[in-house]
Structure 1
Amino acid sequence: MASKEGMVVVVTGGSGLVGQAIQSVIKETNPPNEKWIFLSSKDADLKNAEETRALFQKLKPTHVIHLAAMVGGLYRNMKYNCDFLRFNLQINDNVLESCKEMKVKKVVSCLSTCIFPDKTTYPIDETMVHNGPPHHSNYGYSMAKRMIDVMNRVYHEQYGCNFTSVIPTNVYGPYDNFNLEDGHVLPGLINKVHESQKNGTTLCVWGSGKPRRQFIYSRDLAKLMIWALREYPEITPIILSVGEEEEVSIKEAADLVIEAFDFKGEVIYDTSKSDGQFKKTASNTKLRKYLPDFKFTPIRQGIKETVEWFVQNQDIARK
């Protein structure tokens, strides 16, 4: 268990979806003897080694949650696969090397279920990360994220660094990126339904609606990441996810968004658009071994709260 005396926790990517959720949980719990610093892209260009090193030397963190990444939805990933690989490799290398140099006691990095092999058996678990190539649609991003696991292992072997990682399933919640082309599926749907309702137009959902996903509410993920920083003892990654039985189709997710808005218009599915990976069902057996009683927010409630936030925060929502 991490000593909580005089912890200085730096969160990279602290202004994004997960960073904002962690901020909210920390504000509510106000843990003693902990100073939390949430960084945004304004603080430094983490693709630049000198800027990253200077920032870490100034802040002197004892612990780091590493969320910063170049991210995007399916269509942006397909268009910029090379950029996603290069920029994320640069960010991860600079952050972890700075943490090693500053003798940071523990780092928790955030991966993604897209790192798992495209051709695999289900449910996927933590032992299967490197068993084959990821899906071609986000190959660059997936390989850059996969390399964090490799880096954690070699930094531990060579330097004794306590670097680990978590693998959340599809995250959603307030402060998400609701952009229709760059955002992920749920925030994109929320923006689309809002626009269709406002303009009285047909709602067009991209793809068939058949692919299946496990969604985790950002507040739940925040609580689990704080737990991982304080308690999780392994270097190998841990999947943070609702159970397999909580998996829903994109159509079921769209229906919950439609219900939250009380949208009464016409809905069509554009099957000329790519579906991406059909499923990525993940096992949370390892998480349940550590936290058998953790309660996840039901997806209907999480979507309702996210929709309410989006409607009330049009001035700051990323669209």
Structure 2
Amino acid sequence: MATVVLVTGGTGLVGKALEHIIETEPVGSRFGKLPNETWIFASSAEGDLRDPEQTNKLYEKYKPTHVIHLAALVGGLFKNMKYKLTFLRDNILINDNVLHASYTHKTTKLISCLSTCVFPDKVEYPLDENKIHSGPPHESNFGYAHAKRMVDVQNHAYKEEFGCNFTSAIPTNIFGPYDNYDLEDAHVIPALVHKCYLAKKNGTPFIVSGTGKPLRQFIFSHDLAKLFVWMLREYDDVEPIILSVGEDEEVSIKEVTDAIVKAVGFDGHYSFDTSKADGQFRKPASNKKLLDRIGGFQFTPFEQALDISVKWFIENYDTARTGNNKKA
């Protein structure tokens, strides 16, 4: 039987990375496309997943046997704080429609993408898969976090009631080509890349908020894409799995910034504004479960991955999501 893999949110950061891996890995290899397998990367233009009717039409059109569900309403800290109900409601609708359509259309397997913000605010580190529901999420994004947590609850309910093979992945901070570089709304790496690029272009100082000391785990989107392919082929457990580099691969914001300065080729004045808040010092996540299951995986070295991302941004500046071109 032919396999049809539908990727929702297929034109975003992770969707584009999946498309890249599927097109470049050898057919039939561990992370490659299988013979007689079709991949469809659907964007929001193909259907509003908040609407059950449009979601059903998408399933009727492509008849997916497998779904990687990446579509979500996402935003930076400011948007999450301002629009808590919108983030809660839109994501609940999207997820409920995708999960239910996967059930009614007898999809063989569904993998949804969660986020480390689902974890409780007050929690013992490192984060691991058993701690998702052990306390309320951080106040700043409780709408988004609760909507994402519900996916895990629904996965278990669909499995118990109907035997569905639904699961979820929890990536740490993702970066790579096709990221969102809008300065008002970007995550730390794309925001710093864009700021550094503008400082170089305009001959102005590059000033970074905070001390540069906080530590984060970053996963390159191409590595994450391979891990999604691995999950599709080999991971059949309803329990979620953290997709991340190890705790020993945390990098400081200063190391990130140094690498960006080098990759952009910026040689102007560069400093940290220590009067600005740092945010949480570290929030490490354990990838022990992943490593136990996958049996060996080569993560791209951070600086190499960053070089690829920065090069992509500079070459595609006019069409990248920078906030200068709101239609993008």
- Shorter-chain TM-score range: over 0.9
Indicate yes or no: 2:223 matched with 1:220. Answer: yes
What is the match of residue 19 of structure 2?
23
For residues 156 and 126 of structure 2, the distance between their equivalents in structure 1, rounded to whole angstroms, comes to 24
C-alpha deviation, 1:271, in angstroms: 4.8
Partner of 2:246: 243
> Structure 2: how far apart are the matches of 1:190 and 1:40?
25
1:288 matches 2:301: no
Of 114, 117, 133, which aligns to 2:136? 133
State the Cα distance separating 1:151 from its structure 2 match: 0.8
Alpha-carbon spacing, 1:138–1:70, altered in 2? closer, same or farther (3 Å): same
Distance across 2 between alignment mates of 1:256 and 1:77: 29
Paired residue total: 315
Partner of 1:158: 161
Whole-Å separation in 1 of the counterparts to 2:72 and 2:209: 25
* Counterparts in 2 of 1:88 and 1:270: CA distance versus 1, 3 Å: farther
Cα deviation code 1:38-95 (max 9, x no counterpart): 0001100111111111111221110000000011222322222222111111110111
Q: Which runs of 5+ in 2 are unaligned?
A: 28-32, 323-328
Do the aligned residues in 2 keep the contact of 1:135 with 1:277 (CA within 8 Å)?
no
Instruction: Check the 8 A contact 1:73/1:185 in 2, yes or no.
Output: no
**Alpha-carbon shift at residue 24 of structure 1 (Å):** 0.7
- After superposition, residues 198-209 of structure 1 pair within 5 angstroms as 198-209=201-212
Q: Following TM superposition, by how much is the alpha carbon of 1:6 offset from its aligned partner in structure 2, in angstroms? A: 1.1
Identity fraction in percent: 57
Corresponding residue number in structure 2 for 1:9: 5
Please list every run of 5 or more consecutive structure 1 residues that lacks an aligned counterpart in the other structure. none
Q: CA deviation at 1:267?
A: 2.5
1:181-200 maps to which residues of 2 (within 5 A)?
Answer: 181-200=184-203
**Structure 1 residue matching 2:44: 3-state secondary structure:** coil
Show the counterpart of 1:46.
Answer: 49
Are 1:257 and 2:253 counterparts?
no
2: CA distance, partners of 1:242 / 1:96? 28
- Alignment partner, residue 317 of structure 2: 314
1:162 shift after superposition:
0.6
Matched, 1:300 2:300: no
Q: Normalising by structure 1, report the TM-score.
A: 0.95
1:141 Cα deviation (Å)?
1.1
